[in-house]
Structure 1
């Protein structure tokens, strides 16, 4: 069984900041816009290096999306930055009408997603954003798992023509993917090989999936673990190849089970090979205030919950 090492906990939003900084040095068409959260989005270094390409629009997220859409007409590649709640729910009309409908080359970069925003509570902990964004025609939806992958994804989406939603988080989490990785949009990453159960996870739940695979291995159960960093377009082939071996699947995400990764996977299975599936996700509920660890425990979004779901779904084969 392959072992993964946490090289030091880092927040994924800092991976975005590092990627944006690198892009700024490579491509003069990269511009950045922020809605009064420059420090929180780790955009300070880009701002310091390229003050003429950084635009602080203030607490005016809808205006930020309109400005970003307009900038693409002149060949610029705008990266917008604010919290995930304000990047989607607050500005959905502007994204739909000004960006998605005309397929503008805007990169919507969203931090502080999910329950792990923590103490700020339910009003800021959006758990519906993946569903909102994946339903927009032509929108690419990416949810990265650690610092290194977020940095690589930030750099990769600059080369992709079309609107992208890049989702990442606030807390420091395990940093375990390769520093020199090549991020391929729409291509899942196989982390563990197994024959008894498939576990596909996204974002902060990927490390938890690996931890669950370790505990299952101790009980003689081999798990096929797949990192689904791109929710749209979804790597259907990776999912179908895996369930052909295992005959059952667990999906794990820091998102509502309505509209998230699990729902997309269920559609793929339903269209091709109906398979027992268990969902590790929030159960149609809002969050609440608490530490990230407390919330992930209460809402069942951790290795223990994935382990339990794996045992359950295996019993349904």
Structure 2
């Protein structure tokens, strides 16, 4: 059930304080535990990151189907692939930075190339922690979308994440999900339905088109509401599936507006911004565009809100991009 939360201290890998918004606690693990009751072929694995990936509810509900391989991400991926070969659906968890940088070849060959039923829920994607470059997976979308036969998903909130947990069990082959953990805000309405491979408008407007992914889509919607107070009407398109990319949906949305804003919790190159530019260019559609994303650099340690402000992906920066077009 959703609860109310006010000011608090962030846990490892949680997104910025939800303020007065409702949240759900550990939606990934609780939904996976329930799904595990319905589908006995599901197994859960972690590389000693059970607490910080929210998979512990599954462990507690299905201890005979839970495996902790220790601090060994390559072993995590290979074990998940092996279990998939034995007829299981392997849900595995660790930090995004560790999976992408340490086990990339194993994801590509043992999983994607083999069409293995491995569902990777990668914690702390992008700018989701204050631990600096060693833990900030700010290039993971760029890396993972470069692997053939791999699905890449960036959920917006707890509502969508729970639906993604269920949906990936039936998406063929290997899936990479940017996992949200801890007290995850509830941003989308109860009528929202995740559709694999489809972008969806989550806020209507007339003047500016904002294209986002992950929790930045929810932030874009908040920014659109603030922009309306300044007389600027903005619509928000949420692109939850980055691979396969909904090129047609993005182009149709972009055609409605004189200018665009693209935003993501990722470096400005290789992720959503690049995907949108490529799609529009191929369609012969040129629009003024502001990109609200991370620079191509390494980043400091510090409080997440401070980092997001310093590196320009916080709410005021999005409002500026929508209202002022810069």
Task: Provide TM-score, normalisation by structure 2.
Answer: 0.89
1:275 pairs, out of 278, 284, 287, with 287
Superposed displacement of residue 95, structure 1: 0.9
CA contact (8 A) 1:266 1:277 kept: no
Greater shift, 133-142 or 190-199, is seen at 190-199
**What's the C-alpha RMSD, in Å, of the aligned pairs?**
1.8
Cα deviation 1:63-92 (Å, max 9, x = unaligned): 111111111122110011011111211111
Runs of 4+ aligned structure 1 residues displaced above 6 Å come to none
**Structure 1 segment 67-146 matched on structure 2, within 5 A:** 67-118=79-130, 120-146=131-157
The 1-side partners of 2:218 and 2:241 are apart by 16
Greater shift, 176-185 or 81-90, is seen at 176-185
1:8 pairs, out of 11, 22, 26, with 22
1:50 pairs, out of 62, 67, 76, with 62
1:211 pairs, out of 215, 219, 222, with 222
**Counterpart of 1:274 in 2: which secondary structure?**
coil
Aligned to 1:61: 73
CA contact (8 A) 2:232 2:322 kept: no
**Counterpart of 2:135 in 1: which secondary structure?**
coil
Superposed displacement of residue 178, structure 1: 3.1
Q: Is 1:202 equivalent to 2:213 in the alignment?
A: yes
Structure 2: which 5+ runs fail to align? 1-18
**Counterpart of 1:245 in 2: which secondary structure?**
coil
CA contact (8 A) 2:27 2:181 kept: no
Structure 1: which 5+ runs fail to align? none
Structure 1's 61 and 137: CA in aligned 2 closer, same or farther, altered over 3 A? same
Q: Is 1:292 equivalent to 2:304 in the alignment?
A: yes
Cα deviation 1:282-306 (Å, max 9, x = unaligned): 1101122111111111111122112
CA contact (8 A) 1:253 1:261 kept: yes
Aligned to 2:270: 259
Superposed displacement of residue 173, structure 1: 5.1
1:36 pairs, out of 38, 48, 54, with 48
CA contact (8 A) 1:84 1:167 kept: yes
**Counterpart of 1:136 in 2: which secondary structure?**
coil
**Counterpart of 1:117 in 2: which secondary structure?**
coil
Q: Is 1:190 equivalent to 2:182 in the alignment?
A: no
Cα deviation 1:224-257 (Å, max 9, x = unaligned): 1111111111222221122211032111111001
CA contact (8 A) 1:81 1:110 kept: yes
The 1-side partners of 2:237 and 2:112 are apart by 29
